Homo-oligomer: A and B are copies of this chain.
Amino acid sequence: MRSVEVPLGRRSYAIKVGGGLLARLGVECAKLEPDLGQRCAIITDSNVGKKFAKAVSDSLFRSGYLPVTITVPAGEKSKCIAVVEKCYDRLAAHRLERKSFIIALGGGVVGDLAGFVAATYLRGIDFVQVPTTLLAQVDSSVGGKTGVNLRAGKNLVGAFYQPKLVLCDLDTLKTLPEREFRAGLAEVIKYGIIFDAKLFAQLECDLSKILKREAKTLSEIIARCCEIKAEVVSQDEMESGRRAILNFGHTIGHAIENSFGYGKFLHGEAISIGQVAAAKLSQKTLGLTNRDVGRIKNLFERAGLPTRIILTSAQRKKLFVAMLLDKKVSGGEIKFVLAKKIGKVVWGQKVPMKLIESVLA
């Protein structure tokens, strides 16, 4: 088992990566300081719950906790206020108290939803992330961003709220559908682009092992991604500056998800297109080399991810409206994270609308 520390003072926590961790959840919770209360709730979705809720629940019972399982429908649609309210009502019915805690068992949707519920129930109770997708393990479970969607846009409501522990059980990835696994790689590749040229080169080299989900390689890669995220987040927990680099490819990516309706593109697919577009913008504005743009595009393609999108003019219009509603907009201006070279990005870059249109053409 590998362990990565997220250093945030009193809000510090560990990310543990390895096999067989679901069965150890109760034991790991019992080690946390300060003591967690006895009552807890597992928030999961209809797909993940079927596979893993019993193992998690049993593990908690064995360590003396009293879990209740709350299952929400699988899919992005559960990331909404109505489902948040249903979770609250269940927590109240199960009499969760201030020392009680929540387990988020699932992918990004469950983590964001359950994290937001934990952040706001009784003005905040503890929670533990148990991410079961590659995307959630390397990205959404770490860093304390929680939230749900509004009709007007993705993640428009939420809180910065750190978990007490993140457990990444590699065994949960074994049954992950191929498309979802590949979508998770979009965030993995992102860490190479924004922070670590060596990681990027390793991904180019080891991609076939990764696609075969070889435990040793996966464990190393996931832990490295978590380390990078931990370092960026610890420098800028509330996203007032540098944390923005984690949004490389996300301005266009979120707009694609939003304007096409959640579900048509997976998040990883949308930000794959977004990252390639951002690489092209970087070439035109920051002199990112042709070679680097090619390597970026090529790696996403080899990972089986989309790198471009064909838009009707109505879709194009919708996409730009969605982009203007993004949280990263300030004073009506869209600001991008752009790359100087692989491994080095800058944030807060203004880009003329025409240029954005041209790279999406």
Contact = CB atoms under 8 A, between A and B. Distances in A.
Contacts of A37: 330-331
A124 B330 contact: no
A260 interface: no
Copy number in the complex reads 2
A262 interface: no
Interface stretch (A84-92, A189-197, A213-221): A84-92
Interface in A93-141: 93, 95, 97-99, 116, 119-124
Contacts of A89: 150-152
B81 A85 contact: yes
A309 interface: no
Interface of A, secondary structure class, is mixed
A331 B119 CA distance: 21
Chain A, interface size: which category?
35 or more
A184 interface: no
A157 interface: yes
A88 B153 CA distance: 11
Contacts of A159: 119-120, 123-124, 159
Interface of A: 37-38, 81, 84-85, 88-89, 92-93, 95, 97-99, 116, 119-124, 145, 147, 150-153, 155-160, 238-239, 324-325, 327, 329-331
23 contacts: A37-B330, A81-B88, A88-B156, A89-B151, A89-B152, A92-B150, A92-B152, A95-B324, A97-B330, A97-B331, A98-B327, A116-B120, A119-B159, A120-B120, A122-B156, A122-B158, A123-B145, A123-B147, A123-B157, A123-B159, A123-B239, A123-B327, A159-B159
Q: Nearest 8 pairs between A and B by C-beta? A: A92-B152, A123-B158, A81-B85, A122-B327, A120-B157, A88-B150, A92-B150, A123-B160
